[in-house]
Amino acid sequence: MSHTEYFKRVPCIPKSKLTEMREGLLVISGCEKGEFFEAVLNKTVEEAEEVAGFYDILEIQPLTMYMHLVDKGLVGSAEAVKTAIRKVVEIGFKLGKPVIATGNVHYLEPRDKIFRDITIHGITGFSPLKDIRKPDAHFRTTEEMLEEFEFLGKDKAYEVVVTNTANLADSFEELELFPDKLFTPIIDGADDEIRSTCYNTARSMYGEDLPEVVVKRLEKNSNRLSNTGSRPTI
């Protein structure tokens, strides 16, 4: 639906539709562009709590991800960003919603940042990322993430970086996105024809009295043919 019915330059989904089809989903509050973080920055605590009520999990990111807000004058200072992050943690505690620290990873190594910059500036038309200081969005280790959030205190940093993210990962149900078997066409008589062809080919190579090892291989592939529909190999 987000890629067809509600696509607006990017995939979108109305909150009403998300609510309607919410069963089995976990909804996370998102980055600084999300309504919850904007409410934390610009509205009262009570209003931010009301917005947070919609989400299952609240998200915070390393300080660098928010620094463009300071550059644009939308937030007064880095310390003000830290205050907002602390407020998210407090709201999560009050409402009983886990707070997770995510890296907002866009590339693996710090040196790879240049490739994202090239991609952003190569975009035709408007991009909100073109005129701001680009955040360091590389993959951070656990130790690096703990350093990013040490201003929350050692215990709280460990909770948002390690404990809550591990608990979240453990709560996911595993879904198979791709089948693990072949979907080859089923043709009447094909199994018998392939089996006969294989045995005839083997006899032409080894004689009428086939060696035991050859028979075992033929039977093994014959069973594989029956189970998967794939063509046996001699």
Q: What is the CATH number of domain 15-105+140-171?
A: 3.20.20.140
Give the model's pLDDT for residue 22: 92
Task: In whole angstroms, give the CA distance from residue 170 to residue 139.
Answer: 21
- pLDDT (0 to 100) of residue 234: 42
User: What's the gap between Cα 144 and its chain centre?
Assistant: 20
For the chain, how are helix, strand and coil distributed in percent, rounded to 5? 55, 5, 40
Distance CA 4, CA 12 (A): 9
Domain definitions of the chain by residue range? 15-105+140-171, 177-234
Position 3 pLDDT exceeds 70: yes
- Tokens in use for 72? 């644009």
- Given a contact cutoff of 8 angstroms between Cβ atoms, the answer to whether 113 and 139 are in contact is no
What does the pLDDT average to over 49-62? 96
pLDDT in tens, 24-53: 899 999 898 899 999 999 999 999 999 999
Residue 144 to residues 103, 111, 161: CA-CA distances in angstroms?
10, 16, 10
| pTM > 0.75 | no
pLDDT class for 133, splitting at 50, 70, 90?
Answer: low
Task: Give the C-alpha separation, 175 to 156, whole Å.
Answer: 32
Nearest Cα to 48, choosing from 56, 39, 57?
39
